[in-house]
Structure 1
Amino acid sequence: MNSAERCTFPVAFLAVLLNACSNGGAEGRPAYEVVAKVNEQAIQANELNSVAAPVAPQGAADEGALERLIDQELMVQRARERRLDRDPRVLQSFEAAQREILARAYLEQVTEQIRPPGAAEVAAFYADHPELFARRRIYSLQELEIRMPAERFAELERRTAKAAGVHEVKDWLTREGIEFRLTTAVKPAEQLPLESLKGFARMKDGQMVLSPTGSGALLVHLVTSRKQPLDEATARPMIERFLLNERKTALAKAEVERLRGGAHIEYAPAGPPGAASAATQVSPADLAEAPPAPESR
């Protein structure tokens, strides 16, 4: 098991392992409803809820959650028999998971009392983003991801300007031996990057737009689109969630900066180490859940 693999355990599973290894049995555990026993080891309702599907109602577990937890408990018991709970590599993973959980809990506590947006703010956001709401469209797109040297971008740009469609660009790329990947997707406006949405809103059906990327170029072809506006009342819950999460992210970022400003931090002489595994980092942006896409009507 290498370090990357050790860091990919789901946090819920690690929390169960931490609980099992630190308690060493049922003695001293808070009293919750026992939902199952595995070799006399009780599985409690709070543990079941920790591995339930996120979409399950509050206090309810998805159908297979208990069976997954039983499987985990069997493996935990065998791991303890082999003293894996004392393995330095496993303990390191426990510590990393604990840091992540505690850091996330702290940021959630800091941001939980933030003021929700008012009606005027929601109305202003609705008015400022007609491409998301009043003039919202559903886009049928073809995207051509092209890997090529930067010096050939101008040549590709000229070819694209003359092309009657994506197929002609593909034919030219194939003849030139240039690697590309074609994907198709149907996306409502809210699933497109907010910073580029105004550009999409100006596109006409059949239009192609080429832009440079770090590895070459991206060609976007708007095949078709259809209007599907949202009135303010329908959009209000989505806007409220977006603005609230935006505030939470900003507050969490400011709190992290405040903590760093008041701390004494020393790096080793070689300088800051490489970026830590994403599994052991908590970013302020992690607190902001992406607003769900409104249902197509």
Structure 2
Amino acid sequence: MAVFLLNACSKGEAEGKPAFDVVAKVNEQEIQANELNSVAARAASQGATETGALERLIDQELMVQQARERRLDRDPRVLQSFEAAQREILARAYLEQVTEQIPPPGDAEISAFHAAHPELFARRRIYSLQELEVRVPVERFDELERVSAKAAGVDEVKDWLARERIEFRVTTAVKPAEQLPLESLKGFARMKDGQMVLSRTGSGALLVHLVTSREQPVDLATARPMIERYLVNERKTALAKAEVERLRDGARIEYAPAAATPNAVAPAEPPRASVPR
């Protein structure tokens, strides 16, 4: 949808020399280099080539032309989608402008973060994990907890689940510390090889078995750009949240009677800071 909006803006200019080089024509409709660059940049992470991006733009232009011939650009549902996309793009652009002048953290702040999170850096580990997603009824969670606490290993828990005909799914993964949730990383750092931990989920329970682990520390010099990105992102998150709260405090917001309950409408959530990688 964002591509459609950008195309509409670039193609609504006065006739004359195009602002960008023309890379293709589809039934006399020009596709310009800025459109191709935008699509190619988004697809680069997926290993797509520029030729592939151009072909997708051509296919898209053919469909857009057919849609306009059928007057789908006047369909109320399509217009509503345009408005929703425009609202989302403008809101995101506003937050990006508000948060773009965040100053970088200083050396002392970066060093303090490195020292405060040894599980991410000085004692960073690579975890080989086996996870059991268990669809256990709520009333049997305590029973599963007792079984897993007494079990000599994860296979014993699997055998019990099979005997009790409780559905479960096993997945395995190898994850470095920075790919684990930051709020639970300290707990993982305390785990020993072979240990299991059980937690409740919306669909039942999750049993995590630490198969093996090995240390692979990251020194301050290597970690510095990762920490800097994280701290800047964290500041942007806090600033965006504060800006949304400021706007809401200064606005007159009136809910319709059907939406007057506290949980009926949630405020827009600003971007979140992610674990440094």
TM over 0.5: yes
Name the residue aligned to 1:16. 3
CA offset digits 1:16-63 (Å, max 9, x no partner)? 323445677664586111111111111111111221134749xxx734
Indicate if the aligned counterparts of 2:7 and 2:35 stay in contact, CA closer than 8 A. Answer: no
Give the alignment's TM-score, normalised by structure 1: 0.84
Offset, 1:176: 1.0
Name the residue aligned to 1:285. 271
Offset, 1:140: 0.1
**Any stretches of 5+ residues in structure 1 without a counterpart?**
1-13
Offset, 1:155: 1.3
Identity %: 78
Amino acid in the other structure paired with 1:235: A
Name the residue aligned to 2:64. 76
CA distance in 2, matches of 1:115, 1:164: 52
Give the alignment's TM-score, normalised by structure 2: 0.90
Offset, 1:165: 1.6
CA offset digits 1:61-91 (Å, max 9, x no partner)? 7341111111111111111111100000000
Q: Within the alignment, does 1:170 sit opposite 2:158 as a pair?
A: yes
Indicate if the aligned counterparts of 1:26 and 1:41 stay in contact, CA closer than 8 A. Answer: no
Q: Within the alignment, does 1:157 sit opposite 2:154 as a pair?
A: no
Name the residue aligned to 1:128. 116
Structure 2 residue matching 1:195: 3-state secondary structure: helix
CA distance in 1, matches of 2:29, 2:268: 33
**Any stretches of 5+ residues in structure 2 without a counterpart?**
none
Q: Within the alignment, does 1:232 sit opposite 2:220 as a pair?
A: yes
Offset, 1:118: 0.9
Aligned pairs, number: 271
Root mean square deviation, CA, Å:
2.3
Name the residue aligned to 1:65. 53
Amino acid in the other structure paired with 1:247: R
Structure 1 residue matching 2:175: 3-state secondary structure: strand
Q: Within the alignment, does 1:33 sit opposite 2:24 as a pair?
A: no
Structure 2 residue matching 1:182: 3-state secondary structure: strand
* From 197, 200, 222, the counterpart of 2:185: 197
Name the residue aligned to 2:130. 142
CA distance in 2, matches of 1:290, 1:36: 42
| Runs of 4+ with deviation above 3 angstroms | 19-30, 53-57, 272-276, 288-291
* From 247, 254, 257, the counterpart of 2:235: 247
Indicate if the aligned counterparts of 2:130 and 2:171 stay in contact, CA closer than 8 A. Answer: yes
